[in-house]
Amino acid sequence: MYWAIIWDIIWSIYEWDNIKTKKFPLFPNGVFFTDDTVLTVATTYAILNRLDFWESYKKFYKEYPWKWYWWKFIEWCENDTKLFGIFARKQNSFWNWSAMRISPIWYLSNNLEEVLKISKISAKCTHWHKEWIKWAQSVASAIFLARQWKNKNEIKKFIEEKFWYDLNRKIDDIRLIYDFDVTCQWSVPESIIAFLESNDFEDAIRNAISIWWDSDTIACITWSIAEAYYWIPNDILEKTKNYLDDDMIKILDEFYKKYNINPKKWI
């Protein structure tokens, strides 16, 4: 999860001040965590404490309000009853939040079908659109396969065949035509491509942000996959913690400890 959060923090200032270049400082002045971090930690907290995902998402929204949440999500969170089934069907959303908060789920099982099932539960608790569920599962699949030491060609082939994505485009081409779009179908494939085209940790960061627009979410998705594929340089990890609340760090570190994960390097 730290990878996803690193992305979110580093690129928070580019959400509305976008760039189309890979040349930029990793931790510019004014960065902060956004809704992407809050909901990733909320997913982690739900797993640790055996809570329903909807309950954790509402809890963390109330603890960290005004973090660039979608207004319909705010409406749902401020409703005192869960009503997620009726509300979700009514909204029928296909925004990309289901994919950006999914990274903790792949730790839960060595069985891909089980990971897909849990991903679906996480997605459906807020919105039921078939694309919302599909894209969340695609990211969870990519993370799972990276965890299983599959190479990038194997990951790409699986995602293309199961979810019917076009992952043959290039970042340089996407950058030329990409515009603001927070839907799953026009941000999740781009996020996966940013990972597939990367050479290392830093290159993946620069690929994702240089795509333009919804940069923090695209970056968050890209590096949720990269966490299972690369390793986190210690200096980047420690800098990231400086931007998080102590309670968030405690939740994340407890999760890594429980599942015997070293966020700095896969062994």
Which helix or strand (DSSP H or E) is residue 4 part of?
Answer: helix 2-10
Tokens describing residue 145: 């396969």
The confidence score (pLDDT) of residue 106 equals 74
Is 265 a member of any domain? no
Rounded Cα distance between 116 and 222, Å, is: 18
Token pair 């030329």 is found at: 176
Is 58 a member of any domain? yes
3-state class of 255 per DSSP?
A: helix
Rounded Cα distance between 144 and 23, Å, is: 30
The confidence score (pLDDT) of residue 19 equals 66
Phi, psi of 227 (to 5 degrees): -60, -35
The confidence score (pLDDT) of residue 151 equals 95
Number of C-beta neighbours around residue 75 at 10 A: 12
Token pair 């990972």 is found at: 195
Is 10 a member of any domain? yes
Is 264 a member of any domain? no
Contact 61, 74 (CB under 8 A): yes
Q: What is the mean pLDDT of each run of 10 residues along the chain (267 residues)?
A: 67 62 78 84 93 90 84 77 51 51 79 89 72 81 90 96 90 72 60 91 82 62 81 79 92 88 55
Separation in Å, CA 89 to CA 29, 92, 123: 41, 5, 12
Rounded Cα distance between 224 and 217, Å, is: 11
Contact 190, 222 (CB under 8 A): no
The confidence score (pLDDT) of residue 160 equals 94
Is 37 a member of any domain? yes
Residue 213 is part of a domain; what is its CATH number? Answer: 1.10.4080.10
Is 267 a member of any domain? no
Task: Count up the domains in the chain and report the number.
Answer: 1
> Of 191, 240, 189, which Cα lies nearest the Cα of 216?
191
Is 187 a member of any domain? yes
Is 266 a member of any domain? no
3-state class of 70 per DSSP?
A: coil
190 is in which domain, residue-wise? 2-258
Which helix or strand (DSSP H or E) is residue 174 part of?
Answer: helix 171-177
CA torsion angle 212 168 111 54 (round to 10): 30
